[in-house]
Structure 1
């Protein structure tokens, strides 16, 4: 099995863990505060990771350049707003459905990858992605009668549009991160991904601290007070990001994000056992379609 596959599965698990922890924090910290902890408590670990690779692992670190800086800023800003949309979504729908809406990202990432990087994907991969997105659509209408009107309503309502927008902005951030990592020209993809992660999370932390300082300084105090639970979000977030960045340096974004839909399997487990949210048959069927799409992608 290729390394990027195992790395992506680990990234999906860690991302689901981070999202579950953020859902708990959203009620006490609000959308912005719960989104900030992902970056604010994660960037020191990302920086230590790079230092360890250099001084302990003996790896030479690549020097950032203007192209890297451009894509890192684009990716960093996109991820901030995508995260805020996703955290806000958790207050509108249950954890599983909220995450499902954002999982239209693989198709959007494929489009952005083609437009921005000129990346092409095979016909089989397109089919696998479509099957996975069909599963997401099934989950979105699982709580209502399956009719064309309800499907259109589910895909054009406020909740759906926020989720789809979250997926789109996550797609942009993923393509930007791959562009930033590749622009470093490092011979080792792990080192390139680590440097990208450290630079991006540091920028995101500074940006959001300034934003909260200007808008509502009490949010900063609340984030500090919640350091026990917030630090877990930061740890899960930075480890997950390290895996995502590495996988996307090794493989095209569309493939990585398509495989990353396995997160929904972890999501339904968390939804049922942690949040005690009911899951119906259609949601299970949608989950199975997503898994089928993943298997088709891997077999292809």
Structure 2
């Protein structure tokens, strides 16, 4: 079994927990505040992880280029936008469906990889892309099958697109560092999270200073979100340093199953038959891409 597989499953589980707590915080704090909670305490945790790696087995320090820095900034900004869009999704529909719509990330990442990153897809993989698109359409419908919520679809696809771009740029950044496993992923993790934290704190100081106070008054919830976010990113970044984004993100669709369980047990939410069918099709589409 490839080492990227357990890292991906671990990342998917951590992300489902993080999303659950983000959903709770989104009812109390602004979108920008919920987005910052994901990164606020994650930088020290990422730094601690990197320091631990060097204590266990010393390695060379990275040689940082301007292309690396640009790629890190692009990934950082893209993930901030993706997270903000997902928080808006939470407020439009229930928790499980919001996450399900954002899971268009896997389909979009596979498509962008085929078009721009020299990773062509087989007929089975394209079948998975098609099935995933149908799933997103089903889950975005709030009424009959003839009705379509354009706002929900736009936010879902926008979140999926920016998450997909984030993962593609993160992998590119990892490959730019001539370091052994898992040091390259750990450096990218620290650089991306630190950049995101600086950007969001500066934005909130200028636009929403009261939101920083709101997060300060909720230390346990904010720290919990940062912890699960850091662990999830650690899993994603490490897996993507070992395998292509399309494979990692399609396997990562197992998060949908974790999300369903959390939605039912924690939030007591009920899904319609069409919602369940959409979630099942997402898993089926992911399986097609992996088998391809």
- TM bucket, shorter chain: over 0.9
**Cα deviation, residue 194, structure 1:** 0.6
Contact 1:61 1:195 in 2 (8 A): no
1:145-160 equivalent positions in 2, closer than 5 A: 145-146=144-145, 149-150=146-147, 153-154=148-149, 157-160=150-153
Contact 2:256 2:279 in 1 (8 A): yes
Residue in structure 2 matched with residue 261 of structure 1 by the alignment: 253
CA–CA distance in structure 1, aligned partners of residues 136 and 7 of structure 2: 23
Residue in structure 1 matched with residue 162 of structure 2 by the alignment: 169
Residue in structure 2 matched with residue 15 of structure 1 by the alignment: 15
Residue in structure 2 matched with residue 182 of structure 1 by the alignment: 175
Residue in structure 2 matched with residue 221 of structure 1 by the alignment: 213
**Tell me, which stretches of 5 or more residues in structure 2 are unaligned?**
none
Q: Report the secondary structure of 1:187's partner residue.
A: coil
Q: 1:114 to 1:128 in 2, by over 3 A?
A: closer
Residue in structure 2 matched with residue 139 of structure 1 by the alignment: 139
**1:205 counterpart = 2:197:** yes
Residue in structure 1 matched with residue 273 of structure 2 by the alignment: 281
**Cα deviation, residue 197, structure 1:** 0.3
Cα deviation 1:141-197 (Å, max 9, x = unaligned): 3x5333xx32xx24xx11111111111111111111111111112232x21111000
**Cα deviation, residue 63, structure 1:** 2.6
Contact 1:100 1:140 in 2 (8 A): no
Residue in structure 2 matched with residue 79 of structure 1 by the alignment: 79
1:12-51 equivalent positions in 2, closer than 5 A: 12-51=12-51
**Cα deviation, residue 239, structure 1:** 0.5
**1:194 counterpart = 2:186:** yes
Deviates more, 1:178-187 or 1:281-290: 281-290
Cα RMSD, aligned residues only: 1.7
Deviates more, 1:13-22 or 1:217-226: 217-226
**1:244 counterpart = 2:243:** no
**Cα deviation, residue 263, structure 1:** 1.3
Structure 1 length-normalised TM: 0.91
Structure 1 segments (4+ residues) deviating >3 Å: 294-300
Q: 1:287 to 1:38 in 2, by over 3 A?
A: same
Q: How many residues align?
A: 292
Residue in structure 2 matched with residue 231 of structure 1 by the alignment: 223
